Structure 1
Amino acid sequence: MSGAKKHILMISIPAYGHTIPLLELAKKMAHYHKVTFVVSEFLLEGLHRRHLLTDNPTITILSLPDGYHEEPHENALSVQVFSRILQCGIPSAEKLFSTIIPFSGNKNGHSLVSEPVNLVILDNMIAASAKALHNRGIPYCLFNSMSSTLVLQTLQVHADTQVSEEPIKEMLPFTDALPLSALYKALFLQIHEATLLTAGIIINTAYELERGIIDAIRSHPDMKGVPVYCIGPLMPVSKAETGHESIVKWLDGKKDKSVIYVAFGSIATPKPEDIRELWKALVKTEQPFLWALAKKEQHHLSEEILQKMSRQFEDDENSRCLILDWSPQKLILQHPATAVFISHCGWNSAIEGLATGVPVVAWPMSADQRPNAIELVRSGLGVLLEDTGYFSEKTVDAQDIYTALNEVADFARRGVLTKYQLAGLVWRNRLDDITSANGSAEKDFQHLVTG
């Protein structure tokens, strides 16, 4: 993409965990090229409300009517939900791709995109739609918002790969014999096939974080001639002046390394009985805590708690607890008051914990979250709560949560860093180096925008 400015079209799936990192990549690329960012109609209002969309004149935001919607009270990480995301995302992307204008070519019907496109960057979950681009001679890159393990797993899958007869509850760490459900096999085959024709693989990771896996990807026979760009971590820019002043003021009023931050991403939510046990543990610590809990899940808390929430920004005893339906995660993790992060360990949260140096109490729910959590524990950045998630029949005990929080943060020894907090400082400094002007992530990004 060297020379004059190009027009890059970028598209994700209707899921915040995939859309937000791709949007951050769009903001970076807009310094070099004109970018059209296509977002699911379902997510558009939420991105505006979270102050994540940009006023950059070199980025055009387009809303795609893909037909996706949430069903109330459903298991958000169920196979049915994931299937519906793909069923909405792939056909709508194919329809769009069949009408966009190649950089040199004639327009084919009505299109949301009015200008010729040099390159498309699409989420690898909708890789099946890339055939429409290849057939029209439009180059594309696949964007992987998850750990690079997923990319390596897709390269292992072939038509004769066996399908597990048992339900696969979550992705497993890389193994030579990978058990797959029929759904995941079909998806991984689509990604593998699209990889053979792609102009590059873009991964939201840093080479130093997953060195062995990245090396295995780059040396795979099917990756010959395919560049791999490790340009992460891609973290949303959150500033106090973008509508989060009250949260910053609340954090500013707390002592350094005193706040427990709880967030399970935009999809994952513990079971109702786990929510109540978590509340007990948080109260028992006698520490201030900030909990991002979706509105549709807040009714699992007691009426007394819900009444206190209406006064939680007031300067009294109620201000020790702050419960929000969404929170600016990077802003909170970077604040000196934050001591520990209770996280589901989705990939975005995992690398944000590393990049900000905040140790975690890992509470994986499903998908790739358990292997991510295991890697954080191996990195010295936290502890893992056992037998958690949608498929566990166990209720997580308040005492276990309380014990884990005290092991990681040791609130009784204020001013003395725990081994987990010291490890966090090491990782924060490493990620600062990786993302600096001379770091590997920035070098890969420069190769992407100029190559």
Structure 2
Amino acid sequence: MELKPHVVMVPLPFQGHIKPFLCLAQLLSQTGLYITFVNTRYNHKRFSNLSALSLQFPNLQFESISDGMPDEDDQPRSLTFDFFYGLKYQSREHLKELIGTLSRRSENAQSPPITCIIGDGSVSFPVDVAEELGIPVISFCCHSAHYLLANICIPKLIEDGQLPYHEEKDTNHRINIEVAGLELEGRLRLKDLPDFCVLKDVNDPAYQFFVNEALAMTRSSGVIFNTADDLEAPCLPTIANICGRAYTIGPLHALLNSQIGHNRSQLTASHGSLWKTKHDCMTWLDSQPSRSVLYVSFGSLVKTSSAQLLEIWNGLVDSGYSFLWAVRPDMVDEENDNGIVSFPKVLEIGPKERGYIVDWAPQERVLAHDAVGGFLTHGGWNSILESILAGVPMIGWPNLGDQRVDHTENNQDIDGGKGGVSKVSG
């Protein structure tokens, strides 16, 4: 067997991280590298296109490990302390066991020896395992470089007395104060910082845990970013000084699309969705005038109340514009007295004239469609990159994680946008 470089890739097990990881895996596979892509068992069962991808990319294989929760537990995973704690202390051991299995396969000439691990920069356990086993490791940052810098700056903000803050006790004036004394000065407010900054005490175990997780990628040999120099040039030198090397190779979805071409079935498979994509909405978009439709999607993790969903619905209807809205079945985060999730009936019925509602839309195709003139988004990094590439102006409704930082970073009008429906933002 020819000894190709063998890269083990370990994404955070959420849609917004898996997609860019999978794009990178396929691009590396095309260069001749042998890739082992590690899903959690829960997500492995949700992929329907693994066999198609393996045929399309012979150097790409898929393996799975536990995410620290019982394998029979089919409940959706969420961004909780318990979940991340399980990843760190249980998935770490399962990853070590898998690498041992892969090493034995290489001894039997079934696959090349492992030469590198590319781990998700949002968690520390791939770096921990690589260090313990003496394998070179590179971190892949699926969010923006500015968000990473915000995380790296947290110890300095604590030292300066700017953190912690507590939303219930601090005045609105204080949480709107811009972060001072750092490369992010003039761009971020305290309330735009990561969610775990909203705590009473820096000695809180959750606080310490998430700070250490965020800083783990500084221990790797370098950091890969799904971004471009033109988007985030001001913060990249600082990150490179801290992390050693910084590679800006994005937007990865556009690079992969250019390599694959315009074969729609291949493009759909290559971006590996955990959700069943509804393509019927494209026929509806075909019937709409140019730049007349507002596309609405809040990503794969944002949850909201039934009342908030209904408020958004009323706003969309009252705007007078046509809209395409992706509303996940698990988006409502509340139960009634009987323990049943209450989903607004009006959304189940759907609009009869100007609107179209789906569970999950083929977002890249939607944004590229001539009928779409604006995007109401949660501000996730994948959505921002896809919208910029499509030239579609955005209206932001950031909620969690990196979204407030991404929104702050990209809150200026995008020159050269399609125009049209974006004027609803005022």
Q: Same fold (TM over 0.5)?
A: yes
Partner of 2:238: 216
Partner of 2:209: 186
Displacement of 1:324 in angstroms is 1.4
Could you tell which deviates more after superposition, 174-183 or 142-151?
A: 174-183
- Structure 1 residues 48-87: aligned runs within 5 Å: 48=48, 55=55, 56-68=57-69, 81-87=79-85
Give deviations 1:414-434, integer Å, cap 9, x for gaps.
xxxx9x9xxxxxxxxxxxxxx
Displacement of 1:139 in angstroms is 0.4
Q: 2:176 and 2:129 mapped to 1: Cα distance?
A: 29
Change (3 A) 1:87 1:239: farther
Partner of 2:423: 409
Look up the equivalent residue of 2:358 and give its one-letter code.
Answer: L
Q: 1:50 and 1:106 mapped to 2: Cα distance?
A: 23
Change (3 A) 1:94 1:173: farther
Displacement of 1:137 in angstroms is 1.3
Q: 2:41 and 2:359 mapped to 1: Cα distance?
A: 20
Change (3 A) 1:258 1:227: same
Count of aligned residue pairs for this structure pair: 365
Q: Secondary structure at the match of 1:218?
A: helix
Stretches of structure 2 that go unaligned for 5 or more consecutive residues are: 169-174, 183-189, 269-276, 333-340
- Structure 1 residues 306-385: aligned runs within 5 Å: 306-308=348-350, 318=352, 320-380=354-414
Displacement of 1:340 in angstroms is 0.8
Q: Secondary structure at the match of 2:410?
A: helix
Partner of 1:390: none
* Cα contact 2:8–2:114 (8 A) shared by 1: yes
Change (3 A) 1:189 1:157: farther
- Aligned residues with identical type, % of pairs: 25
Q: TM-score, normalised by structure 1?
A: 0.69
Partner of 1:231: 249
Stretches of structure 1 that go unaligned for 5 or more consecutive residues are: 310-317, 383-404, 411-417, 421-451
Partner of 1:199: 221
Displacement of 1:9 in angstroms is 0.7
* Cα contact 2:226–2:251 (8 A) shared by 1: yes
The RMSD of aligned alpha carbons is 4.0
* Cα contact 1:66–1:89 (8 A) shared by 2: yes
Could you tell which deviates more after superposition, 38-47 or 154-163?
A: 154-163
Look up the equivalent residue of 2:229 and give its one-letter code.
Answer: Y
Could you tell which deviates more after superposition, 119-128 or 229-238?
A: 229-238
Partner of 1:386: none
Displacement of 1:239 in angstroms is 6.5
Change (3 A) 1:189 1:308: closer
Q: Secondary structure at the match of 1:63?
A: strand
Q: 1:184 and 1:52 mapped to 2: Cα distance?
A: 42
* Cα contact 1:261–1:338 (8 A) shared by 2: yes
Partner of 1:116: 113
- Structure 1 residues 269-284: aligned runs within 5 Å: 269-284=303-318
Look up the equivalent residue of 1:63 and give its one-letter code.
Answer: S
Which of 122, 138, 148 is 2:135 aligned to?
138
Give deviations 1:97-117, integer Å, cap 9, x for gaps.
4335589x9759xxxx96521
Change (3 A) 1:307 1:97: closer
Q: 1:167 and 1:282 mapped to 2: Cα distance?
A: 33
Q: Secondary structure at the match of 1:91?
A: helix
